[in-house]
Amino acid sequence: KQEVTQIPAALSVPEGENLVLNCSFTDSAIYNLQWFRQDPGKGLTSLLLIQSSQREQTSGRLNASLDKSSGRSTLYIAASQPGDSATYLCAVVAVNTGKLIFGQGTTLQVKP
Amino acid sequence: DVKVTQSSRYLVKRTGEKVFLECVQDMDHENMFWYRQDPGLGLRLIYFSYDVKMKEKGDIPEGYSVSREKKERFSLILESASTNQTSMYLCASNPFLLGAGGNTGELFFGEGSRLTVL
């Protein structure tokens, strides 16, 4: 059974720091991995989608990498800003079920 | 930009009432989903649909039903609301992609509907 884990559950950093959020999954048989952002009381916003054949995707200050063999993905945020404060979730589509499996998320606070 | 719109951001209902949550997407996506999100439990899939009039149970379908009469609209129905259905409900959609499990397109979410059942 595919499981997705995000550690740490919460992270607090000063503004300007480069930071890495981690996502691990137990079964390397995935179609893709997607990173989302969620602000309090709101829905999820798609940040980056990495297909299984890809190693990374970039959007602005965000870079997501995927290492299927080790079951890991990282979301790199460069020069963090207070506006980056949110919960970040990763999710994989498992090959055996075709279903999207979410991690529990990492809540990020960037202090001015 | 893809837009997924949920008709109600906040609802307060009484136990036993029938509740309709509406979701509309404007990008001609085949797949639509209803999730609920609770602290400590994360996102859990209630129902999904791959086509008009088609529905599949997710992980927690009990107490819910759905309707998909038009491609762009997916409704979640609580026949008789109970207090344990107080939650944030999230609708999502993505395109059906052939040859890759059908569920590998980028997923887009609505803003969520916060339901309180008293």
Let me know: does A48 contact A57? Beta carbons within 8 Å: yes
Asked whether the predicted pLDDT for residue B1 surpasses 90, the reply is: no
* CA B101 to chain CA mean position, Å: 20
Band of pLDDT at residue A100, cut at 50, 70 and 90: confident
* pLDDT tier for residue B103 given thresholds of 50, 70 and 90: low
Residues β-bridged to residue A106? A88
CB contact under 8 A, B103 and A43: no
Nearest CA in chain B to A92: B104
Note the pLDDT tens digit of each residue in B37-64: 999 899 999 999 999 999 999 999 999 9
pLDDT in tens, A34-80: 999 999 999 999 999 999 899 999 999 999 999 999 999 999 999 99
The backbone torsions φ and ψ at residue A104, rounded to the nearest 5 degrees and listed phi first, read -80, -15
Please give the span between the terminal C-alpha atoms of chain A, in angstroms, as a whole number: 41
Strand partners, A80: none
- Asked if A44 lies within 8 A of B92 by C-beta distance, the reply is yes
Residue in B10, B24, B57, B104 to test binding to A, most A beta-carbons within 10 Å? B104
Give the model's pLDDT for residue B99. Answer: 58
Q: How far is A17 from chain B (nearest CA, A)?
A: 28
- Please give the pLDDT value at position A97: 79
CB contact under 8 A, B112 and A42: yes
In a mutational test of the B interface, the residue from A100, A104, A106, A107 whose CB has the highest number of chain B CBs within 10 Å is A100
The closest alpha carbon to B4, from B23, B21, B28, belongs to: B23
Those residues with Cβ within 8 angstroms of residue B1's Cβ, 6 or more apart along the chain or in another chain: none
Residue of A nearest to B6 (CA): A43
Q: What is the pLDDT of residue A96?
A: 80
Report the distance separating Cα B26 and Cα A17, nearest Å.
Answer: 38
CA B20 vs. chain centroid, Å, equals: 11
DSSP secondary structure letter of residue B106:
P
What pLDDT does B101 receive? 59
Q: Smallest Cβ distance to A44: which of B100, B109, B114?
A: B109
Q: Chain A: which residues have CB within 8 Å of chain B?
A: 31-32, 34, 36, 41-46, 49, 51, 89, 91, 93, 95, 98-100, 102-105
Closest listed residue to residue B46, CA positions, set B118, B96, B115? B115
At A57, is the secondary structure helix, strand, or coil? strand
Label residue B9 by pLDDT band (50, 70, 90).
very high
What is the Cα–Cα distance from A5 to B106, expressed in whole angstroms? 20
> Which residues from chain A sit within 8 angstroms of residue B92, using beta carbons?
44
Q: Note whether B104 contacts A51, CB cutoff 8 Å.
A: yes
According to the model, what pLDDT value does residue B114 have?
97
